Amino acid sequence: MKNLQTVPSSIGSPIKKGTAKSGRGNKLVPYLFIAPHLIIFLIFFAIPAVSGIYVAFTKWNLYSAPQWVGLTNFYEILANKDSTFYFQLHNGLFNTIKFVCFSVPFFIIIPLLLAVALNTKTYGSKIFQSIFYMPTLLSISSVILTWVFMFHRNLGPINNILGLRTNWFGQQPFTWMAIVIITLWWGIGGNMIIYLAALNSIDRSLYEAAEIDGANAIQRFFKVTIPGLKNQLAYTVVLTTIAQFNIYGQPLMFSKGGPKESTRVLMMYIRELAFGSGESIAGLASAMAVILGLCIMAVSVIQFVLMRNKD
């Protein structure tokens, strides 16, 4: 009988160093891909946010070393009714919330209706999509300069076409109406594009089945379109609310916070305290920014919970 030659087994044999290094290298690859995003997040969000929260508990003028004062800044803006900063926080936050309530519903409804109307293969629909989206590419300075002329009391086409003599810059509620109109014109294109993309993902057979069952256009909109866009609606509601809480440029450049500080939002007070004329009061400004951030978080959480429960 021929001697059977046994093949040495590789089980239990030592792993080559090159193979081990290659395995560790493969594990590091995902971290290399996310590293740029993490670095940007740390530099431009996490570190400034933590620093801002710390400064809110200090007295700081941006030049000397911050002095820890504990909750003094928060007492000054939340409880000391005789303080000017108490008025600034409450007036600015009230005006900010007012603007959010005025603008957010329009930022959801109007882009949704535009998306439904333009979600066709009709000739020219793409052109109108581009027209509605183009203002989002403009800077706030160019937008305000354009609309300041549009709302001019004597030379503006709005008053002349409508036969009005309205002072849009210094008379309420017209100043708020003008600011909301400007903001809508500037920003509805973003939400419209999101809804257009979502509409294309809805199964067309659902509309055909609803039409066979006798549903009219309005019923198909509420029974098929809205449920098909629930995730996108939740996303845009939260992000739009956060964006409108950070309003700054429109009331600053259009009405300069007037009339009688009725459009002076909280971001304007924060900027003036930290970087305005005179000595900086960065600690109080940071405390106001923390209050604003907590309001944004609270509203976002409430919206998320309500929409999740509704789903």
- pLDDT tens digits along 130-178: 999 999 999 999 999 999 999 999 999 999 999 999 999 989 999 999 9
Quote the pLDDT of residue 20: 53
Please say whether the beta carbons of 189 and 114 come within 8 A. no
Beta bridge partners of 67: 59
Quote the pLDDT of residue 300: 84
Determine the longest span between alpha carbons in the chain, in angstroms: 116
Q: Give the confidence band of 305 by pLDDT, cuts at 50, 70, 90.
A: confident
Helix (H) or strand (E) holding 270: helix 266-275
Burial 50-67 (b: 16+ CB within 10 A, else e): eebeebbbbbbeeeeebe
Look at the chain and count its residues. 311
DSSP letter at 94 equals: H
Query: Half-sphere exposure of 1 toward its Cβ, with a 13 Å CA cutoff?
Result: 3
Structure tokens at 58: 């200090």
Quote the pLDDT of residue 296: 92
Quote the pLDDT of residue 121: 80
Evaluate whether the domain defined by 93-310 bears CATH number 1.25.40.10: no
DSSP letter at 68 equals: E
Helix (H) or strand (E) holding 283: helix 282-310
- pLDDT tens digits along 95-112: 999 999 999 999 999 999
- Between these two residues, 189 and 14, which has the higher pLDDT value? 189
Residue 82 has pLDDT above 70, yes or no: yes
- pLDDT tens digits along 253-297: 999 988 999 999 999 999 999 998 888 999 999 999 999 999 999
What are the boundaries of each domain within the chain? Answer: 19-55, 93-310
Peptide bond between residue 135 and the one before it cis (omega within 30 degrees of 0): no
Average pLDDT, the chain: 88
The torsion region of residue 152 among left (phi > 0), alpha (psi -120 to 50) and beta comes to: beta
Quote the pLDDT of residue 1: 46
Residue 194 has pLDDT above 80, yes or no: yes
Contacts of 91 (CB under 8 A, 6+ apart): 261, 264, 269
Could you count the other beta carbons within 10 Å of the beta carbon of residue 9? 7
CA distances from 6 to 9, 25, 29 (A): 9, 36, 40
